[in-house]
Structure 1
Amino acid sequence: MATDTTASPSSTSASGPGTGPGTGPASGTTGALRAPAPQHLGIRAKLVLLVLCAAQFMISLDFSILNVSLPVLGSDLGMSRANLQWAVTAFALPSGGFLLLFGRIADLYGRRRLFLTGLAVFAAASLLATLAWNPAAFLAARAVQGLGAAAVVPTGMSLLTTTFPEGPLRERALGISGTLLSLGFTIGMVMGGTLTDAFGWRSTMALLAAAGVLVLAAAPALLTESRHPRRPRIDVPGAVTVTGGLLAVIYALSTAAQRGFGGADVIAALVLGVALLAAFVAVESRAAEPLVSLPMLRRRTVAWGNLAGLATFSMMSTVVFLLTLYLQEIRGLSAFRTGLVFGVQGVAAAVTGMTAARVIGRIGTRGTLLAGLVVQGALTAVLVLLGPGSSGTWLAMAGVTLACVGHLWVIVSYGITATSGLPDHEQGLATGLVTSSQQIGLTVGIPLLSALASSRAHLLSGIHLALAVDAAVLLAVAVMVAVGLGRGRTAGV
């Protein structure tokens, strides 16, 4: 699989002008001789990587850019404080619920095509959110944004992993992508506060619309089409059960963060979600052409890699959310100054992302994955020492910055772990699982632990409890992944 040549006809059909990084041979060509994989990125490959990473950065930005703007947004649109969470949840529901389905559709009918369609939908919805005249229009626009993101994220990742072969090139590409993914979430906090203070909350959505248009303008000339070498049928029962199950579970967790787990709708949604996901497993075990290959899920690299990804994203996004509450509600910092605290974390993410491939080269993918989970967990535990005084601001900045180092190690290494050793025609599904871990993690961690934090009478005590659970989850997952992956280095691990 070469990086600066057109892919073989068996796996792609070029639909963009010129040639670009190919997707490599289909699984049926395993006996063919391959030229040695290049060790350096060519100019065109760098441009492709730039476009794909820019799209991931833009979606990641959307997850956090509104967080510090919610009070201003609610006042402007007339949304009650209890309903402000829906500004985030309306995006998270479709973006997390439709990832697996869209990842599979992209495998079968064209990753480039769905990537471009998702970009167009996201940009248009961002413009609608900018112009929203009431809460209903805004929440509808956020939901459509989520649909666009659900198409862009898995297709962008599968285009990346099928463009760059396993080894140093893919590790470098995933390192850059992981860095920008984390930077997007962090920079979103900084930019959200800055833009809201200067121009109002609508400027945050306008920025996303402009970014979507720019990426959409550059992508067609650089990306070539790739898809499954044949077109099997879509597993409709599997698609319905997994999408419905994810939507129900995400809704239940998001609503529980506002009203607790005792509400009838929360309980009903949880029961429905679990039942649908159980039905999904049963359907997939009998389907002739399943949406998700259960044997692939039994691969230890896929299963344990995705568990690590789910843990690192859910727990890190929760830390950012809890520290936002701490800095604004307890320390009294403005949205702008709160954003600056997280800006230091962004610098750490950039430096760590650039060096993550070297860390993997020294201690291996498995070693980097476990070290990252332990570092993130240990530094999160330190944040339990936060107090009401000014020293707490400095501790929050130092703790979240150093925790981010471990977080970035996990992001890069779990992506490599969960996609290694798989043929190109399964990369869309594998990266769909990877991105599902990301997006579901970003969605479920905050509702669960913020509900835990609100269970205490005093906010600081609740934040301490949630941070302690956050750290415990990370360290427990580190032990589980260490045992699950074993000591071997098979399948790229």
Structure 2
Amino acid sequence: MTINTQTATIGPQPAAPEHDRLSGRSKLVLFVLCAAQFMVALDFSVLNVALPVLGKDLGLSRSGLQWAVTAFALPSGGFLLLFGRIADLYGRKRLFLSGLVLFGAASLLAALAWDPASFLTGRALQGLGAAVIVPTGMSLLTTTFSEGPLRDKALGISGTLLSLGFTIGMVLGGVMTDTLGWRSTMGLLGVASAVVLALAPGLLPESRNTDRPRLDVPGAVTVTGGLLALIYALTSAAERGFGGVDVWGTLLVGLALLAAFVVVESRSSAPLVSLPMLKRRTVAWGNLGGLVTFSMMSAVVFVLTLYLQETLELSAFRTGLVFGVQGIASVFAGSYAPRLIGRFGARRTLAGSLAGQGVLTAALLATGAESGALAATVAVSLASMCHLGAIISYGLVVTSGVPDEEQGLATGLVTTTQQVGLTIGIPLLGVLATTQASLFNGVRTVLAIDAAIVLVAALLVSLGLRRRQ
């Protein structure tokens, strides 16, 4: 689900003249940058099918399993914009290499984890490393390849590999968990980061902004602290209920920090999130659609993983194959979605894709407690096709009509929405599945609420994006 929304719409390009073709060195640079992005995409999915096995091995409860995903996604989303800005100031290559070191070391810690605390620490540090790698890698790519056919080609390749990373991760995670154990999935990421780190220093150029933008540290601190507090409160409530003082305390702290973030951004000369930009209809409603499609689909994948392995008792390998089919369907949708956008427009495609995702999520309610793997495969694959259509179209909606000098802010919001959506979906809905007496009933509850949220969002986005006469 980590498809780059800014590149997924790249279609076939006409034959480029000789000077617009990638040189041998440029291909190596592109390989290194895409390998790093692919590795991060892999991390979002390679562990999913291993969660039940991992939980039994480390003693993580069902409600605690969501932290295996959340511990990675929260820092990777919360620190994304801050590290992008730090890279602009102090050098993108330098920070990119530092991110690779942190990511690799954290992957090894997670692979060698001896208890839940050490494993979750490794996952959190992985997320922090990813928050460094993603924006610096994308900045290095766009500054290395000049605007035009070369950059379009590079971004197209990067977007395709990001999509394939999620697909391959699900299948590879199942195979490795069944044959080598879940720890091998984390070890693989450590080895991959070491390979990229060995190649990167001699190939990547150094770059930084000459205008040296200010760091919005207060904004980064308040938004990250607010999200951390909210997720902690939701997870604690899942395990112990809402009766605890610490649950309500952290919930109120989180809301207060997010309110402070809005105030900070309204007064900052170099904000992480531009509030005036959010007042644009296309930006506001487009990002709402993106937030819903990412958060709700991540919740579906989480609860279906539990359903397939714990209710239907499928192996990790067979579960990986189910999501592998889903990934193939997503890749197909990625190639077809631009045609729909060309025919109906990005706004209608976004609303229609959300509606399709909601209907097909509701269709998953037809699966039974004793059988339903085939039905789940078909339904989640079709829902993923609609999901990818929403991803591609929301990126276009958000950036359409935005002046060139503000495109950086708009695309930053697109990326942030993606990361926050991946962060909040599982804690918000996953707890409903893991805390009920019957897992099957919990999964059905999540699917019903998930479908309702997506369908309501589709209606709101459709109304909000209607062209004014």
TM-score tier by shorter-chain length is 0.7 to 0.9
Q: Comparing 298-307 with 239-248, which one deviates more in the overlay?
A: 298-307
User: Are residues 115 and 428 of structure 1, via their aligned partners in 2, closer, same or farther at CA, if it must alter by over 3 Å?
Assistant: farther
Equivalent residue letter for 1:326 = Y
User: Are residues 304 and 429 of structure 1, via their aligned partners in 2, closer, same or farther at CA, if it must alter by over 3 Å?
Assistant: same
5 Å matches for 1:129-278? 129-159=110-140, 177=158, 179-220=160-201, 223-278=204-259
User: Are residues 164 and 259 of structure 1, via their aligned partners in 2, closer, same or farther at CA, if it must alter by over 3 Å?
Assistant: farther
Q: Which position in structure 2 is the counterpart of 1:102?
A: 83
- TM-score, normalization by structure 1: 0.81
Contact 1:100 1:429 in 2 (8 A): no
5 Å matches for 1:61-100? 61-77=42-58, 79=60, 83-100=64-81
Q: Which position in structure 1 is the counterpart of 2:447?
A: 467
- Local SS of the residue matching 1:195: helix
Shift of 1:474: 1.4
Contact 1:58 1:212 in 2 (8 A): yes
Q: Comparing 434-443 with 377-386, which one deviates more in the overlay?
A: 434-443
Q: Quick check: 1:58 aligned with 2:45? A: no
Shift of 1:227: 4.0
What is the CA deviation profile of residues 295-326 of structure 1, one whole-angstrom value per residue up to 9, with x for unaligned ones? Answer: 12223333222222211111111111121122
Contact 1:308 1:478 in 2 (8 A): yes
Q: Which position in structure 2 is the counterpart of 1:451?
A: 431
Q: Quick check: 1:376 aligned with 2:354? A: no
Q: Which position in structure 1 is the counterpart of 2:398?
A: 418
Contact 2:239 2:435 in 1 (8 A): no
Q: Which position in structure 1 is the counterpart of 2:101?
A: 120
Distance 2:452 2:223 in 1: 29
- Structure 2 residue runs of 5 or longer lacking an equivalent are 1-12
Distance 1:377 1:404 in 2: 11
Equivalent residue letter for 2:280 = R
Shift of 1:159: 4.8
Distance 1:422 1:227 in 2: 24
User: Are residues 67 and 263 of structure 1, via their aligned partners in 2, closer, same or farther at CA, if it must alter by over 3 Å?
Assistant: farther
Q: Which position in structure 2 is the counterpart of 1:43?
A: 22
What is the CA deviation profile of residues 60-113 of structure 1, one whole-angstrom value per residue up to 9, with x for unaligned ones? Answer: 221232233234334444555554443333323322221232233234444444
Shift of 1:272: 0.9
Q: Which position in structure 1 is the counterpart of 2:461?
A: 481
User: Are residues 177 and 477 of structure 1, via their aligned partners in 2, closer, same or farther at CA, if it must alter by over 3 Å?
Assistant: farther
Shift of 1:411: 1.8
Q: Quick check: 1:325 aligned with 2:306? A: yes
Distance 1:484 1:158 in 2: 32
Q: Comparing 83-92 with 116-125, which one deviates more in the overlay?
A: 83-92
Distance 2:143 2:348 in 1: 25
Contact 2:178 2:315 in 1 (8 A): no
Match of 2:389 among 386, 409, 431: 409
Equivalent residue letter for 1:207 = L
- Structure 1 residue runs of 5 or longer lacking an equivalent are 1-36
Q: Which position in structure 2 is the counterpart of 1:367?
A: 348
Distance 2:206 2:395 in 1: 22
Count of matched residue positions in the alignment of Structure 1 and Structure 2: 452
What is the CA deviation profile of residues 422-460 of structure 1, one whole-angstrom value per residue up to 9, with x for unaligned ones? Answer: 567755544443222222212211122122335655333
Shift of 1:128: 2.7
Distance 1:171 1:477 in 2: 32
Report percent identity of matched pairs: 68
Shift of 1:355: 3.2
Distance 2:191 2:233 in 1: 33
User: Are residues 229 and 240 of structure 1, via their aligned partners in 2, closer, same or farther at CA, if it must alter by over 3 Å?
Assistant: same
Distance 1:196 1:261 in 2: 35
Q: Which position in structure 2 is the counterpart of 1:18?
A: none
Distance 1:446 1:424 in 2: 35
- TM-score, normalization by structure 2: 0.85
Q: Comparing 89-98 with 437-446, which one deviates more in the overlay?
A: 89-98
Contact 2:66 2:430 in 1 (8 A): no
Equivalent residue letter for 1:237 = P
Match of 1:357 among 338, 342, 349: 338
Distance 1:178 1:474 in 2: 25
Shift of 1:333: 1.1
Equivalent residue letter for 2:467 = R
Q: Which position in structure 1 is the counterpart of 2:376?
A: 396
Distance 1:300 1:347 in 2: 33
User: Are residues 406 and 78 of structure 1, via their aligned partners in 2, closer, same or farther at CA, if it must alter by over 3 Å?
Assistant: closer
Equivalent residue letter for 2:99 = G
Contact 1:256 1:448 in 2 (8 A): no
Distance 2:141 2:345 in 1: 21
Q: Comparing 374-383 with 116-125, which one deviates more in the overlay?
A: 116-125
Shift of 1:401: 0.6
5 Å matches for 1:278-293? 278-293=259-274
Q: Which position in structure 2 is the counterpart of 1:20?
A: none
Distance 2:463 2:187 in 1: 46
Distance 2:141 2:290 in 1: 18
Contact 1:97 1:246 in 2 (8 A): yes
Shift of 1:463: 1.8
- Local SS of the residue matching 1:43: coil
Match of 2:315 among 327, 334, 359: 334
User: Are residues 91 and 272 of structure 1, via their aligned partners in 2, closer, same or farther at CA, if it must alter by over 3 Å?
Assistant: same
What is the root-mean-square deviation in Å for CA atoms of aligned residues?
3.2
User: Are residues 63 and 42 of structure 1, via their aligned partners in 2, closer, same or farther at CA, if it must alter by over 3 Å?
Assistant: same
Shift of 1:116: 3.1
User: Are residues 437 and 362 of structure 1, via their aligned partners in 2, closer, same or farther at CA, if it must alter by over 3 Å?
Assistant: same
Equivalent residue letter for 2:276 = P
Contact 1:379 1:402 in 2 (8 A): yes
Distance 1:230 1:367 in 2: 39
Q: Which position in structure 2 is the counterpart of 1:17?
A: none
Contact 1:318 1:445 in 2 (8 A): yes
Contact 1:176 1:354 in 2 (8 A): no
User: Are residues 108 and 278 of structure 1, via their aligned partners in 2, closer, same or farther at CA, if it must alter by over 3 Å?
Assistant: same
Equivalent residue letter for 2:433 = A
Equivalent residue letter for 2:426 = I
